[in-house]
Amino acid sequence: MVGGKPAVRVGGIPVQLSHLDKVFFPDEGITKGDLVEYYRQMAPRILPFLRDRPLVMGRYPDGIAGHAIVQKNAPGYFPDWVSRAEVGKKDGTVRHVIGDKAATLVYLANQGCIELHSFLSRLEALERPDQLVFDLDPPDEAGFGLACQTALELRELLARELELSGYVKTTGGKGLHVHVPLRPEHDFDTVRDLARDVAGLLATQSPRQLTIDQRKDQRGQRLYLDVMRNGYAQMAVAPFSVRARPGATVATPLHWAEVEAGQLTPRDFTVRTIAGRLAGRDDPWADMPARRRGLPVSRLAALRASPEAGAGS
């Protein structure tokens, strides 16, 4: 007990807990205590993706049926052992939490933080991303198959034309993210320009199915290739983060073979099913750090000048 409230020791740090029986996911009967335990058990899987990256917290103090708080700044009442970093913004700075220890994940869960979103750059080079992200966003869950098909086409294009590697994950929603590891050599504008060119090329090849139009009313039933996360201080949902959605889905790294098999659904991976999936299975993103590449500027210029090259003609 700490201060009359239950506590759990995580990595040698006592973390005070409260109201563990509060229901966070009503349809599934998942409580705050279940969420705390999920992040405690999953910390070894999650932390490698969070270390040295500022976090944005998606907090739901009364569960997913209650008020949502998107919180960037670490409150002053957070304990001293929760790591923080000052991140510049247009009119000052923000003190972001850094997810560098399991106790931090448990503490945040106890604060009602269901979702974890992380920067695409690291503290040592905040203005130079070490990955870019394509958000493949179909209009509804029925378009998930199209998201899988598009992810495969995107992987092929990146590898064939730009010699870049793609890594795929479910978002915990209706679509997929494709992450591309980079050496942190270029600023966000340059990286986003690359992402926009690649997305535009795919959309040109399949105009009835894909679009890069940001206006929802112009998309119809087409899948939106969203590259706008590739900006300074933008973020993507962290691998293995829970999502604040019915079903308690989890953003889950995938093997490409799973995407190729065509049997995935957006709701396959949840707080209750993820442990079974991971048991005895290797990490599909294990080699991501070794696959970082610089932006192929000359190849990109050729791709911009000749869209037919991307079509393989």
Q: For residue 310, is pLDDT > 60?
A: no
As a whole number of angstroms, the distance between CA 225 and CA 121 comes to: 21
Last residue within a domain, chosen from 119, 144, 168 = 119
Last residue within a domain, chosen from 62, 86, 119 = 119
20 and 105 in a single domain? The answer is yes
224 and 249 in a single domain? The answer is yes
84, burial (CB in 10 Å: exposed 0-12, middle 13-18, buried 19+): middle
Q: For residue 1, is pLDDT > 60?
A: no
Beta bridge partners of 168: 178
| Enclosing domain of residue 189 | 131-310
157 lies in some domain? yes
174 and 97 in a single domain? The answer is no
158 and 286 in a single domain? The answer is yes
Mean pLDDT of 68-81: 97
144 and 56 in a single domain? The answer is no
141 lies in some domain? yes
Last residue within a domain, chosen from 84, 119, 154 = 119
212 lies in some domain? yes
As a whole number of angstroms, the distance between CA 190 and CA 196 comes to: 10
Beta bridge partners of 242: 250
Mean pLDDT of 15-40: 97
According to DSSP H, which parts of 206-267 are helical?
Answer: 256-261
Cα–Cα distance list, 9 to 14, 40, 65, 102 (Å)? 4, 10, 30, 10
Residues above pLDDT 90, as percent of the chain: 88
Q: For residue 259, is pLDDT > 80?
A: yes
- pLDDT category at 202 given cuts 50, 70, 90 is very high
Torsion of CA 267, 273, 277, 279, to 10 degrees: 170
260 and 303 in a single domain? The answer is yes
250 and 223 in a single domain? The answer is yes
Q: What pLDDT score does 312 carry?
A: 40
109 lies in some domain? yes
Mean pLDDT of 89-116: 96
306 and 164 in a single domain? The answer is yes
Q: What pLDDT score does 308 carry?
A: 55
72 and 169 in a single domain? The answer is no
Per-residue pLDDT tens digits for 117-160 = 999 999 999 999 999 999 999 999 999 999 999 999 999 999 99
2 lies in some domain? no
- pLDDT category at 4 given cuts 50, 70, 90 is low
Q: For residue 62, is pLDDT > 60?
A: yes
225 neighbors 105 (Cβ within 8 angstroms)? no
59 lies in some domain? yes
249 neighbors 267 (Cβ within 8 angstroms)? yes
- pLDDT category at 297 given cuts 50, 70, 90 is confident
Across 18-22, 48-52, 109-113, 279-283, least confident range: 279-283
Q: For residue 42, is pLDDT > 80?
A: yes
Mean pLDDT of 276-294: 91
287 lies in some domain? yes
247 lies in some domain? yes
Mean pLDDT of 15-22: 97
Q: How many CA atoms lie within 13 A of 136 on its CB side?
A: 29
Total number of domains in the chain:
2
Mean pLDDT of 80-94: 94
Q: Which residues make Cβ contacts (< 8 Å) with residue 10, sequence separation at least 6?
A: 40, 43, 101, 102, 103, 106
258 and 161 in a single domain? The answer is yes
90 and 228 in a single domain? The answer is no
Closest C-alpha to 270, from 312, 299, 240? 240
Q: What is the CATH number of the domain that holds 80?
A: 3.90.920.10
Across 1-10, 27-36, 212-221, least confident range: 1-10
Chain centroid, CA 119 distance in Å: 9
Q: What pLDDT score does 296 carry?
A: 86
Q: Are strands 210-211 and 223-226 parallel, antiparallel or unpaired?
A: parallel
282 and 248 in a single domain? The answer is yes
DSSP, collapsed to helix, strand or coil, labels residue 96 as strand
